[in-house]
Chains A and B, each alone.
Chain A
């Protein structure tokens, strides 16, 4: 095609309008893709019962919260590094890193069954900008290698209370 192709492209754009009838086909395909993704990754997971949330650092589960029993399980290695504060309907879990002075504060709403990172001392604090999660998704904090995610069906055995 060489220069002839490039020349035609600029001339084509300069002489065209911002909208053609055929654009509707492209927009329809895009809308269908988004709709299919919504069904598979949002509407279907919403029907899944919320079992709780877990926090993992470097792939290892550190803290688990089970919504059925309202219990929190902390990994033995992190017992001294996790602080839990209950404030009405909200539970604030401060997870301190073992090898650095990094921390993340995860807030769990026990009524609405949602989780969010509300504070962190990571460089960009991107994790605090991310909206809360409920039945699906995850909130990552890449600088601290931390992830907050909902507990999947059969993922963990809930602790026996009493």
Chain B
């Protein structure tokens, strides 16, 4: 049975709220030995939205998360590098999921998380005109890959449990 538009919007709003809250909570914790290193739990809700509702709604969740999360956490300047990185990595994940048949969700999440954190760091260095932070790039990419693995597997487990009637 096709999902009603009102139900889709409600689910999208709920996932946006969860992603925003996760983003704000993560920003309260100190970085893990590296500037900007976070677990990326908010990406779990974006990936889940991509699977359940599709690309259009997942981009909406991403934009809401970055906009509101930056505002409420008091770090508005992070908009400049979080948003482009998020959009590019989500686009890559969407294309990988839709166009490939034999690539798992976990691998897509790993690639997306690595791309996200790499592009964020590079954009930050370009905007602030500092090249010193580029030396953190390999470590951040590794942290991104590991968090992508965990988040991807968690999303996979949750997607397995989603009842068939939501399709």
> Which chain A residues have a beta carbon within 8 Å of chain B's beta carbons?
1, 3, 5-7, 9-11, 13-14, 16-23, 25-27, 29-30, 33-34, 37-38, 41-42, 45, 124-126, 128-131, 136-140, 147, 149-150
Contact = CB atoms under 8 A, between A and B. Distances in A.
B114 interface: yes
B44 to A, nearest CB: 14
A129 B141 contact: no
Nearest to B77: A142
Interface SS of chain A? helix
Contact of B138 (A25, A34, A150): A34
A137 to B, nearest CB: 4
B104 A124 contact: no
Contacts, number: 124
A15 to B, nearest CB: 9
Interface in B149-167: 153, 156, 159-160, 162, 164, 166-167
Contact of A20 (B53, B102, B167): B102
Contacts of B141: 30, 33-34, 37
A64 to B, nearest CB: 15
A131 B160 CA distance: 39
Given A18-B156, A30-B111, A138 B132 contact: yes
Nearest to B141: A34
Contacts of A45: 135
Given A11-B167, A37-B138, A138-B132, A131 B107 contact: no
A27 B114 CA distance: 11
The secondary structure that dominates the B interface is helix
Interface string B2-31: 110000000000000000000000001011
Interface residues of B, number: 48
Contact of A16 (B34, B104, B138): B104
Interface string B115-146: 00010000000000010111111100110010
B133 A137 contact: yes
10 contacts: A6-B53, A9-B54, A9-B97, A10-B162, A10-B167, A18-B156, A26-B108, A38-B138, A140-B133, A147-B132
Contacts of B156: 13, 18
Contacts of B138: 34, 37-38, 41-42
Contact of B51 (A13, A21, A130, A138): A13
Chain B CB within 10 Å, residue with most, of A1, A6, A7, A150: A6
B135 A41 contact: yes
B41 interface: no
A14 B145 CA distance: 23
B157 to A, nearest CB: 8
B130 to A, nearest CB: 7
A126 B145 CA distance: 22
A10 B103 contact: no
B98 A26 contact: no
Contact of A129 (B3, B33, B54, B135): B33
Nearest to B148: A30
